[in-house]
Amino acid sequence: MIPKPGWAEALCSSLVRVRRISEWIGNPSLLAIAAGEAVKLALYATGHRGPWSKQGILRALEERGWWYLAGFRRRYLQDPRP
């Protein structure tokens, strides 16, 4: 059984991904990933420790009253593209 990473490890990996946003700007298909990592980073910073499922993240955004981000997340979840 593989242990789940703690929130500090998850935060570090998210920071690394967000740092690469400048590399992703030239590839629009990766921008949604960069945006998702930025949202996760904001949730980490405000104390969210899970669940990290797609719906769990949406719920956390709504609970914080981050309606603008929640709207983006909702559209992302409805997008049929891979």
Residue 2 resides in a domain: no
The pLDDT of 51-69, averaged and rounded, is: 88
Supply the pTM of this predicted model.
0.64
The pLDDT of 27-42, averaged and rounded, is: 75
What percent of the chain is predicted at pLDDT more than 90? 6
Structure-token pair, residue 33:
């990933």
Please give the Cα distance from 48 to 7 (Å, whole number). Answer: 9
Residue 15 resides in a domain: yes
Q: Who contacts 28 (Cβ-Cβ below 8 Å, separation ≥6)?
A: none
Of the pLDDT bands very low, low, confident and very high (cuts 50, 70, 90), residue 24 is low
Residue 1 resides in a domain: no
Total of domains in the chain = 1
**Containing domain of residue 42, as a range?**
7-78
Q: Quick one: pLDDT at residue 62? A: 92
Q: Which of 36-45, 55-64, 71-80 has the highest mean pLDDT?
A: 55-64
The pLDDT of 25-37, averaged and rounded, is: 71
Least confidently predicted of 6-10, 35-39, 48-52, 53-57: 6-10
